[in-house]
Amino acid sequence: MLPSQLSSGDVIADRRADYAKMLAESGEPASAAELMEQALELVPSWAAGWFSLAAYREKAGDVPGAVAALNEVLALDEGDVFGARLKLAVLGGAEMPDRPPSRYVERLFDDYAERFETSLVEKLGYSVPQKLAVLIAQAADIPTHFRLAVDLGCGTGLLGPEIRDRVDRLEGFDLSKGMLAKAAEKGVYDHLGQADLSLAPPQSGIFEAGLAAGRADLITAADVLMYLGDLDGVLTIVAALAADGAVFAFSVEDAGDAEGYVLRESLRFAHSEAYVRAVLGAHGFTVRDLSRSIIRMDGGKPVHGILFVTRKSA
């Protein structure tokens, strides 16, 4: 659900917010911002309203005004469910965080679950699951069959069917319960669980009761790591999850020549190949194969990514 769709609790403020949204969609963001300001005079504690105001001000070219509105959002919503801190960083109003707030990511995908596959696959040409499965199958010195695979950030389960015939047991984990419900409908996972990859291994949910460390000989993360900046934490989870010699296959958005990782206007992170290789090496993984590819479209423009197949030292 978009912030502008969340009720303020005041009928008049909601009506003005609805008109503001219509003006913005009609190409009049400055007028939309003025009307949204009027709504917020009635309900100044409306975090979603401030977030919408920030969007209208930004579109109208008022970046300082957008930054001010986003700071109001953070003052009202400590958990940052709207991702205001990420947007502030993009606008130059705050330092780049090393990861997004978990509440923001969880809500983003809970709200997106029903239309996720139609939007991503049919409209945006998303193809990472198929490409990653092919890369795993074709990489040199990689097993053709796996005892236990763990699909991190499994979403609606798009990767599961691509690798199901090569694994004896398939587990999927995601932060979004809405996504997990969609994945369950596919009937290809032996176990599905909620997990937060931004937390330390004991708190992540990956090692819940009965699910031991070092249990996986294949770990996948398709289109997941772009929702994390610093990859050291998730590689700590992967290393704990992986058996000796395990394969870790994943994708990132390609940061090109940039150093480390960057936060893009999409509020997703892109990572450089050099940075990814360094983090992998620090956790005992070596790259066995990689492929550069367009992984989806965004705003009519191609998003370039890197697909990796790596292996943990035995």
- Region 239-257: mean pLDDT is 95
pLDDT of residue 299: 81
| pLDDT at residue 302 is higher than 60 | yes
Q: What is the pLDDT of residues 177-222, one digit of tens each?
A: 999 999 999 999 999 999 999 888 888 888 875 678 889 999 999 9
* Segments making up each domain of the chain, as ranges: 3-95, 109-312
Instruction: Compute the half-sphere exposure of residue 146: CA atoms within 13 Å on the CB side of its CA.
Output: 29
Nearest to 307 by CA among 226, 217, 201: 226
The CATH H-level superfamily of 109-312 is: Vaccinia Virus protein VP39 (3.40.50.150)
* Residue 250 or 301, more confident: 250
**Distances, alpha carbon 96 to alpha carbons 241, 261, 262, 265, in Å:** 29, 10, 8, 12
CATH of domain 3-95: 1.25.40.10
Cβ–Cβ under 8 Å, residues 51 and 69: yes
What residues does 218 pair with on adjacent strands?
A: 149, 247
Percent of the chain at pLDDT exceeding 90: 76
For residue 121, the 8-state DSSP code is: I
Alpha helices (runs of H) in 91-208, residue ranges in sequence order:
102-112, 116-117, 128-138, 160-163, 177-186, 201-204
Does pTM top 0.85 for this prediction? yes
The gap from C-alpha 76 to its chain's centroid, in whole angstroms, comes to: 24
CA distance 250 to 224: 8
Q: What is the pLDDT of residues 118-170, one digit of tens each?
A: 777 777 778 899 999 999 999 988 999 999 999 999 999 999 999 999 999 99
Helix (H, G, I), strand (E, B) or coil at 256: coil
Look at 42-46, 121-125, 310-314 and tell me which has the smallest mean pLDDT. Answer: 121-125
**Distances, alpha carbon 22 to alpha carbons 25, 31, 70, in Å:** 5, 10, 21
CA distance 57 to 62: 5
Cβ–Cβ under 8 Å, residues 253 and 268: yes
Residue 301 structure tokens: 């423009």
- Region 51-70: mean pLDDT is 97
